[in-house]
């Protein structure tokens, strides 16, 4: 089983950032944006999450392997919530990932006034 990492998504009410070959600018005509100076970090790193994920017996017995992707929120206090399976393989693997995500916390790195949308991808391999 391998945890590939996670990807932060900024809050939904951020403005688009336009990029071209000469510069990058933020559209300031909309006052509803968030400046992120640092992203939350998983306490203990990816290995901490990987250690919490148990390969379900049902999946082992049926030789199930594949990728599970779960979208979730990292709350202002570093806890996780709002889990949604984006890609699943069943046989208890999806639930194993969500169960592990419920047990972890993030260090917010000073971003205690923001909620983040996050994606975790886990490969189950026999």
For 79-92, what is the mean pLDDT? 97
- CATH code at 2-11+40-124: 3.30.1150
The reported pLDDT for the residue numbered 64 is: 97
Interval 5-59: pLDDT, tens = 555 544 443 333 333 334 444 455 556 666 777 889 999 999 999 999 999 999 9
> Can you list the alpha helix ranges (DSSP code H) found in 1-126?
45-52, 57-61, 93-103
How many angstroms separate the most distant Cα atoms in the chain?
A: 57
| Per-residue model confidence (pLDDT) at position 63 | 97
Q: Are 115 and 40 in contact (CB under 8 A)?
A: no
Give dist(CA 113, CA 62) in Å, integer: 44
pTM of the model: 0.73
Percent of the chain with pLDDT over 90: 62
């Amino acid at each position: 089983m391998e945890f590939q990492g996670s990807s932060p998504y900024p809050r939904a009410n951020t403005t688009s950032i336009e990029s071209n070959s000469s510069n990058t600018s933020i559209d300031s005509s909309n006052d509803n944006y968030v400046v992120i100076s640092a992203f939350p970090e998983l306490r203990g790193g990816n290995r901490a999450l990987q250690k919490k994920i148990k390969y379900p017996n049902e999946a082992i017995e049926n030789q199930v392997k594949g990728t599970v992707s779960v979208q979730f929120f990292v709350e202002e206090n570093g806890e996780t919530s709002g889990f949604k399976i984006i890609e699943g393989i069943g046989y208890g693997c999806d639930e194993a990932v969500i169960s592990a995500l419920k047990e972890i916390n993030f260090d917010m790195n000073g971003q205690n006034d923001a909620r983040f949308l996050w994606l975790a991808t886990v490969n189950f391999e026999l």
